[in-house]
Amino acid sequence: MSAPTVNRVWQLAARPTGFPSGDDFRLIEDSVPKAGPGQVVVRNEVMSVDPAMRGRMNDVPSYTPPFQIDQPLEGGAVGTVVDSQSPEVPVGASVLHGLGWRDYALLEAKHVRVVDTALAPASAYLGVLGMPGLTAYAGLLDVARLRPDETVFISGAAGAVGTLAGQIARLRGARLVIGSAGSAEKVRYLVEDLGFDAAFNYKDGSIRTQLKQLTPDGIDVYFDNVGGEQLEAALFRMNLHGRIAVCGAISQYNEPDATGIRNLSLLISKRLTLQGFLVLDHWGRREAFVEEMSGWLREGQVTVAETFVDGIEHAVDGFLGMLRGQNLGKMIIRIADAA
């Protein structure tokens, strides 16, 4: 079989305003790179699409630099090393790295992490054992300081972070785990398959009323993935000294004119803690997280939810689909079969 010569790469073609469209992206054909000293070439097999990528499409300073027009997009990916000039990362190694959105990635070997795809499938390193899993774990246990017997509310509960946050809360002894998601099917899945005590569809009637009905004793911990109206509704239901871990605000990412939170004064009367966090500040917890999560997986205590979109040519469809809520659990683009 002759060596592949074409490397398909997704670029940002234009900065989206509001909800992105397919025209904001471009798939180009480049040549397959060659490894120089200390470098590896990875044939990508799976890549992640994340809400944070939407933020990087805006030309604003943030914790990661914005994507540049006419330049490749980036993001988590797992693949197999096919060319190496690094003894530490030989040809055949499975690696996790940050240059998805392309068939072949050229990286410094020190920028990849070898993973064991015999222990867990490649996609797990982008989800349950990867960044979203650590986000759920650190957000719930370190930021919100969840204690046994507390009531937890998780918005965006049927997504990558939310499905794990809910299950971790249950396994760490929460008294009541309540979730919200955007369809009846997702609500059913949360309760019947993931063990949430109750869940509601935030598109189906008043959020405030539904949340009130499901939390008769109030909320001790709110794990906020969406912001906006659900944050307002949760503030009304928070108990004294409750903690809110602000993980994401996906209801606002495509709404440049989103309105603010109108009831923040409840922070004072209820002595609440509202803390934003970034998973990258919690990398020190990775080992403890992987150990505990691996145990739960081995014992069958955590259900892994993943949605796959096949083909790098459909990566943008997968990204837009994730923003629209077409994913159950982690949205993964399958680029190639495992080597």
Ligand X SMILES: NC(=O)c1ccc[n+]([C@@H]2O[C@H](COP(=O)([O-])OP(=O)(O)OC[C@H]3O[C@@H](n4cnc5c(N)ncnc54)[C@H](OP(=O)(O)O)[C@@H]3O)[C@@H](O)[C@H]2O)c1
Q: Does 167 interact with ligand X (rule: CB under 6 A)?
A: no
Task: Write out the binding residues for ligand X, residues 3-62 only, by CB under 6 A.
Answer: 50-52
The window from 26-34, 69-77, 215-223, 276-284 that contacts ligand X (CB under 6 A) reads 276-284
Kind of pairing between the strands at 113-114 and 198-201: unpaired
* Tally of CB atoms within 10 A around 34: 11
CB of 68 to ligand X, least distance (A): 21
The window from 28-36, 154-162, 256-264, 289-297 that contacts ligand X (CB under 6 A) reads 154-162
**Among 80, 99, 327, 332, interactor with ligand X by CB under 6 A:** 327
Task: Write out the binding residues for ligand X, residues 244-263 only, by CB under 6 A.
Answer: 247-251
Q: Which helix (H) or strand (E) holds 32?
A: none
Closer Cβ to ligand X, 109 or 181, answer by number: 181
CB of 115 to ligand X, least distance (A): 19
Whether residue 286 contacts residue 134, with contact meaning beta carbons closer than 8 Å, is answered with: yes
CB of 155 to ligand X, least distance (A): 7
**Residue type for 282, please?**
H
CB of 264 to ligand X, least distance (A): 19
Closer Cβ to ligand X, 185 or 217, answer by number: 185
Closer Cβ to ligand X, 28 or 184, answer by number: 184
CB of 153 to ligand X, least distance (A): 13
Q: What's the first-to-final CA gap in the chain, in angstroms?
A: 14
283: its two tokens: 């990398």
The window from 34-42, 75-83, 241-249, 285-293 that contacts ligand X (CB under 6 A) reads 241-249
**Residue type for 278, please?**
L
How many residues at the interface with ligand X, by CB under 6 A? 30
Closer Cβ to ligand X, 33 or 98, answer by number: 98
Q: What angle do CA 218, 325, 274 make, to 5 degrees?
A: 35
Task: Write out the binding residues for ligand X, residues 83-122 only, by CB under 6 A.
Answer: none
Distance of CA 201 to the CA centre of its chain: 20
Task: Write out the binding residues for ligand X, residues 175-234 only, by CB under 6 A.
Answer: 181-183, 186, 225-226
Q: What angle do CA 333, 192, 294 make, to 5 degrees?
A: 55
- What string of DSSP letters covers 174-235? -SEEEEEESSHHHHHHHHHTT--SEEEETTSS-HHHHHHHH-TT-EEEEEESS-HHHHHHHH
The alpha-carbon radius of gyration of the chain (Å, integer) is 21
Rounded to whole angstroms, how far apart are CA atoms 253 and 140? Answer: 22
Burial 41-73 (b: 16+ CB within 10 A, else e): bbbbbbbbbbbbbbbbbeeeeeeeeebeeeebb
Closer Cβ to ligand X, 112 or 305, answer by number: 305
Binding mask 120-149 for ligand X (x = CB under 6 A): ------------x--x--------------
Closer Cβ to ligand X, 81 or 245, answer by number: 245
Q: Which residues of the chain form contacts with ligand X (CB under 6 A)? A: 50-52, 132, 135, 156, 158-162, 181-183, 186, 225-226, 247-251, 277-279, 322-323, 325, 327, 331
